[in-house]
Structures are given as structure tokens and as C-alpha cells.
Structure 1
Amino acid sequence: METDCGVTWHDSFLKACPSRQVLDMIADKWALLAICALTDGPMRFGELRRRLDGISQKVLTQTLRTLERDGLVHRRVYPTTPPKVEYSLAALGHSVLGLTVQLRAWAEEHTSAVEAARVAYDERELVAV
């Protein structure tokens, strides 16, 4: 979005703001976990798939393509037979890494509290019905 003086700004509360697409991508569970998994360095597809327990081959492929297209992940193909492909964080991926690691840590630390809140809520809803 552009102001009258030509300066670009974004307000993700606005429906048409392109920053919403960026938020959608970063907030995706598999994208966040893939970025976190690449913290320690390059990984091959199979390594990533084993690390991201429960992800399908199709979803991992789509996630990596999205992250590569958006400039967060770099895909490197080595000229070998069979071809060796590695994925690593690009500069933009490193810039968001702190946030993704913090979100993951928060989720792991507060899972019990969230589960307890859900149980309490569900019990209140049953009584109200």
C-alpha cells in the first residue's frame, strides 16, 4: 500500500494488505517447524521428513516450495547421480528464525496450561447445555 507521498506501508489488520499473506505463511504449522528444523544447517528432504514427524511427502514438498518462493529457504541441487538436494535457511529465513523458535518454545512450555483451559471450558459448556 502506498501513501500520498509514495512511501510503502503495511497494516495487516486491513483485508487487502499483502502482509496478511506473509503472516499466513509464517503462521503455518509446517512452515514454522521446517524453519526451526533448519536451524542447525542444511538438510536433505528425507532428513526433514523424518524430523517433521507426521508430515506427508506432498505437504513437505509444498511447504518447501512456498518457503523457497518466499525467499526463506534456499534449495541447492548438487550435480551428482542421483541428484543430491539440500535445503537451508536463506537470509530472510534466518531473520525470522528467532520468532519461530520462540513460538515453538512457547507452545511446548504452555501446552499443559492450554489443555487444562480446554478441559475447563468444555466442562462449563456441558453444564450450560
Structure 2
Amino acid sequence: MGEGPGYTALKAGEIIYLLKCKPVEVEISSKNAICHDELPVIYNNQSYFMAPKTRTLQKFGTELDCNHFLPSAFLLDGEWYTTSQNIREIKKPQTLKPSTKWTWTYKSIEHLMTAGIYNYDTMNNFQQY
């Protein structure tokens, strides 16, 4: 489907339209007293928020609690940055490997319905009172 950032999907009824957005130059906003899930940017002298992954511009951002240990981060020109109160470079995050082999196996829970701390006769006696 989309070959990277700059695409958006619009749902209409039971169909989803994939649209390619026109690339534009933006400037990262330095006014970051509030933390957001999106990257605050300036475009045509107006404030916008650049959505993660799709890189589409939107008028409003999603406010987050500022967390210096787990900040929102953005990959810009091959480097990782956070805008948690001011823009700064951060360490590259660890890449997860989703192709890891599953190690769990299913075990039947039938014994849970027949075993317990009380035997059958004791349970029947409890139910009579």
C-alpha cells in the first residue's frame, strides 16, 4: 500500500481510500511548553502538528503528560529527537523483532472444573445450606 510517510486513509462506508499527500516544507516549533503525541511544526507561519508515521499535518495535537523517561520521539533525517519541552536528540530506540518464534503451548484446563480444595461430597453439603 503506501510506500512510506505521506499517505492517509479515509473511511467512507465500507471502503477505505488511500490518498497520497503533497509534500511540504515545515519548521519544527520551538514553543513546546506542552508535550504532544504529534510533532509541533510551523507551516505558512501557522502552528500544526505532524502525525507520527503518516507525517500528515493536523490543526490539533494530542496532549500527553511530559515524561522525561518515556518521551514521544520522532525520526528526522535519520536521527531520533524528542520535543519534550524542547527539541533534543535522543538515543536510537531498540528495534523489536516481530519474527520471533512463539514459545508457548496450549494446555487443557479441564482439571480446573473437577479439582479443588473440596471433594464432591463436601461441595454438595455446602450447597444444601
TM-score range for the pair, normalised by the shorter chain length = under 0.3
Q: Which structure carries more helix by proportion?
A: 1
Q: Which structure carries more strand by proportion?
A: 2
Scaled by the length of structure 2, what TM-score is found? 0.24
Structure with more contact order per residue of length (Cα contacts < 8 Å, sep ≥ 6): 1
